[in-house]
Amino acid sequence: MRNRTAATRIPGHRGEHGNLGSVIRIVLQRLALGLVTLLIVSAVIFGAVNLLPGDFAQAVLGQSATPEAVAAIRTQLGLDQPLPVRYAQWLWDAARGDLGVSFAQANFASFTGRVDPSATVLAQIGPRFANTMFLAGVTAAIAVPLAVGLGILAALWRDTAFDKGANIATLSSISSPEFFVAYILILLFAVVNPVLPSLSNIFPGMSFGERLEKTLLPALTLTLVVTAHMMRMTRAAILNLMAQPYIEMARLKGMRPLRVIWRHALPNALAPIVNVVALNLAYLVTGVVVVEVVFVYPGIGQLFVDSVKLRDIPVVQACCLIFAAAYILLNLTADILSIISNPRLRHPK
């Protein structure tokens, strides 16, 4: 049984020869396209920051700096170079992992001498990036099975009380701002019934269990927001398929509804569902910012917001680049997965 479903899961996988080459070609094409997009996006980010009146040197030293000091830092940072040269330099450094020096953290005296290693943007972002990935991972582990399962049930029992209730619940959950959901959860699970901590003070050297406990409330908040999207899209994808003739055929020959979905609808709905999952994980990238601020979670989103308030431009630039890269990568994954699982997309007319 399992073998047969596995075979139907990738329709047209057997018996088609010479297909692998075309898949690899298309995947490479998409990867190249993603890389170009990332390059252009980095140019947009770099260009946007250079819209600033004055420049980094002025921003570092403030209004009252002497012209000599400004000029010294300009030479130090290479700000006297023309714009395209600076962009190429920044990109080259970023590709090697050198994202510059944080304004807020930098000891300005060290600008003239050695750069303090803890002041580099990379040293700040590194551990926080790992924390954010942990949060996103926990969220995905809860949300994906839950959303797909509920979506299938809603499609199976469409127009019943369950479906209508789920419709109202998911619409409300999508419409609520993340911080509303977060505070409701804090109210219920941290204040009124103190079972989970409301502040996620995570530090290195914590055990996995402790870490998970501190992460659970932010992860649940994100789960509630993301699950609603994912579930609605899963339901729509399956309902779309349920109108197909072969589904009607399966039903008419007396198959049980759950089996119709499992054997006929789900394998064909897999491409859209995988797409939905990847798109929603991309949505997590944005949602993470607000949730991390609410729970004081030491992730990259909180660093981003703090840097925006401090006008710490190298950090803002780097965070923006990382968020955009994650977003593009996830969208790219959705694209490639749907092409792999749907042979019709492999041969565009």
- Please report, as ranges, the residues that interact with other proteins according to CB under 8 A: 37-38, 40-41, 44-45, 48-49, 51-53, 59, 156-159, 161-162, 168, 171-172, 174-180, 183-184, 186-188, 191-192, 194-195, 239, 242-243, 256-258, 282, 285-286, 289-290, 293-294, 304-305, 307-309, 311, 313, 316-317, 319-320, 323-324, 327-328, 331
What is the C-alpha to C-alpha distance for residues 276 and 136, in angstroms, rounded to an integer? 16
Q: In the complex, what is the shortest distance from the CB of residue 49 to other proteins, in angstroms, rounded to a whole number?
A: 7
Rounded to 5 degrees, what angle do the CA atoms 304, 226, 210 make? 65
Q: How far apart are alpha carbons 258 and 238 in whole angstroms?
A: 12
- Nearer Cβ to other proteins, position 7 or 40? 40
- Closest to other proteins by CB, 170 vs 341, is 170
Per DSSP, the residues of 72-111 read HHHHHHTTTS-HHHHHHHHHHHHHTT---B-TTTS-GGGG
Q: Of the two residues 186 and 233, which places its CB atom closer to other proteins in the complex? A: 186
Q: How many Cβ atoms sit within 10 Å of the Cβ of residue 22?
A: 14
> Closest separation between CB of residue 289 and other proteins, Å?
6
> Given the complex with other proteins, which of 32 and 187 has the nearer CB atom?
187
Least distance between other proteins and beta carbon 18 (Å): 32
- For other proteins, the closer of residues 113 and 254 by Cβ is 254
Q: Smaller CB distance to other proteins: residue 53 or 204? A: 53
Which of 136, 174, 142 is closest to 327 using CA atoms? 136
Q: Minimum distance from CB of 117 to other proteins (Å)? A: 25
Q: How far is the CB of 175 from other proteins (least distance, A)?
A: 4
Q: How far is the CB of 326 from other proteins (least distance, A)?
A: 9
